[in-house]
């Protein structure tokens, strides 16, 4: 089969023939029709995650997939050959930038029939991340206020829709060119981060804040939090720290920054969380329910063929994408 493999940190991926996946007893063998790019992909390629993810190069990366089941392991439950599925494998066993993959069945869900494979592949990692950030605190109580930082990104576009589905009032930050997009997704207030701070824009505190920016933006977020609120960050900072301070120095700096973040929350009466999502296929059942109800729609910026994976990664790396960048496999229409 064909796959895009990383042979050296910082180098382009190489599209080449590789051995077929080896299945375990709890695995499904899946013909991948589409994948999508997440920031963790190009951070791993650059070597910024070496402190936590040690790769045995060459390595197939990629953490989102939508495809069709080709074979079923003897311990698999709930799936059969021919099922359309989607989901996200573990960070230690990725490999969706390829034509086929063996993946544990509990990391997948049945693909909604109303979605194309490209649409389904754009959802798994970012939906599970957004859900993990919001759901410990998100209720259907009237008056709940939520702020989503970077609302036009992959996580942000879905977090807005999850919060609105639960009846929350939602504010979000993005650039001027994406204001209409986030309004269409349901945002009640849109803040142009280039001209207005969140402290100036919000006239009342928020109960939940999803931080996708880190750094100074995360530090300022405490200023708009209601007492007892939840501030969930999806930014660890480890790639930038390791590039600047080396692997050991980067880990120590990350631990210091994370510790400071949680201590500040404790002192201010705010519940803080650094969210690193694990692959949980059952969470995608909530996505399926929202899609069926018409309250969730994928947002795709561009679709690229696997043969142009490096150009797609360069495009995603700019940080200016609206929603997700999708990779389609050969022969998919």
**What separation in angstroms does the CA of 309 have from each of 3, 22, 87, 160, 205?**
10, 24, 20, 29, 42
pLDDT for position 273: 83
Closest by Cα among 78, 82, 40, 33 to 61? 40
Band (258; pLDDT cuts 50, 70, 90): low
pLDDT at 51: 57
Look at 35 and 278; give whichever has higher pLDDT.
35
pLDDT score of 136: 87
Whole-number pLDDT of residue 239: 47
Under the banding of pLDDT at 50, 70 and 90, the label for residue 261 is low
**Residue 24 confidence (pLDDT) above 70:** yes
Which of the two residues, 263 and 215, has the higher pLDDT score?
Answer: 215
| 80 — pLDDT class (breaks 50, 70, 90) | very high
pLDDT at 48 over 70: no
Q: Where are the alpha helices (DSSP H) in 51-169?
A: 117-121, 124-134, 154-165
Least confident of 110-114, 190-194, 298-302: 190-194
Residue predicted with more confidence, 24 or 221: 24
Between 271 and 176, residue with greater pLDDT? 176
pLDDT surpassing 90 at residue 248? no
- On the question of pLDDT at 145 being above 90, the answer is yes
Distance CA 130, CA 332 (A): 28
Tell whether the model's pLDDT for residue 288 goes beyond 80. yes
- Asked whether residue 120 carries a pLDDT value surpassing 70, the answer given is yes
Pick 248 or 139 by higher pLDDT.
139
Looking from the CA of 47 toward its CB, the CA atoms found within 13 Å total 13
Q: In the structure, what pLDDT confidence band is assigned to residue 44 with cuts at 50, 70 and 90?
A: confident
Q: Between 258 and 274, whose confidence is greater?
A: 274
8 A C-beta contact, residue 7 and residue 297: no
Query: What is the average pLDDT across 50-65?
Result: 83
The DSSP 8-state label assigned to residue 22 in this structure reads P
Whether the predicted pLDDT of 245 surpasses 60: no
Residue 299's pLDDT is what? 98
What is the arithmetic mean of pLDDT over 290-303? Answer: 98
Q: Does 110 have pLDDT greater than 50?
A: yes
β-strands 14-17, 300-305 pairing: unpaired
List strand residue ranges (DSSP E) for the chain, in order: 2-6, 14-17, 27-37, 59-60, 65-72, 84-87, 100-104, 108-110, 145-148, 169-174, 189-192, 206-211, 225-233, 271-274, 300-305, 324-328
Average pLDDT over residues 267-288: 82
* Residue ranges of domains in the chain, CATH in brackets: 2-123+298-328 (3.90.180.10), 126-274 (3.40.50.720)
Q: Are 221 and 230 in contact (CB under 8 A)?
A: no
Give the chain's mean pLDDT: 89
């Amino acid at each position: 089969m064909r796959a895009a493999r990383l042979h050296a940190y910082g180098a382009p991926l190489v599209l080449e023939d590789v051995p077929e996946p080896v299945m375990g007893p709890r695995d499904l063998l899946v013909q991948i029709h589409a994948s999508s790019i997440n920031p963790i992909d190009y951070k791993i390629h650059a070597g910024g995650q070496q402190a936590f993810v040690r790769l045995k190069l060459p390595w197939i990366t990629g953490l989102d997939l939508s495809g069709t089941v080709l074979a079923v392991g003897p311990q698999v439950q709930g799936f059969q050959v021919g099922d359309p599925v989607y989901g996200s494998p573990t960070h230690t066993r990725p490999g969706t930038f390829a034509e086929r993959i063996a993946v544990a069945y509990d990391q997948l869900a049945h693909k909604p029939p109303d979605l194309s494979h490209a649409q389904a592949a754009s959802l798994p990692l970012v939906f599970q991340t957004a859900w993990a950030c919001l759901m410990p605190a998100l209720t259907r109580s009237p008056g709940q206020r939520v702020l989503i930082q970077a609302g036009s990104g992959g996580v942000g576009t879905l977090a807005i829709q999850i919060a609105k589905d639960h009846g929350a009032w939602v504010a979000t930050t993005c650039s001027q060119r994406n204001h209409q997009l986030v309004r269409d997704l349901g945002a009640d207030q849109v803040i142009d981060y280039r001209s207005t701070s969140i402290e100036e824009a919000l006239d009342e505190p928020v109960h939940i804040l999803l931080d996708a920016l880190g750094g100074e933006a995360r530090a300022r977020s405490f200023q708009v939090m209601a007492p007892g609120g939840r501030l969930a960050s999806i930014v660890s900072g480890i790639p930038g720290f390791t590039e600047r301070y080396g692997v050991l120095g980067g880990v120590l700096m990350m631990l210091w920054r994370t510790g400071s973040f949680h201590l500040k929350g404790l002192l201010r009466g705010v519940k803080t969380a650094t969210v690193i999502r694990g692959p949980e296929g059952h969470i995608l059942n909530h996505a399926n329910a929202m899609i069926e109800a018409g309250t969730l729609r994928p947002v795709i910026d561009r679709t690229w063929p696997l043969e142009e994976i490096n150009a797609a990664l360069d495009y995603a790396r700019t940080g200016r994408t609206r929603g997700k960048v999708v990779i389609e496999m050969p022969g998919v229409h």
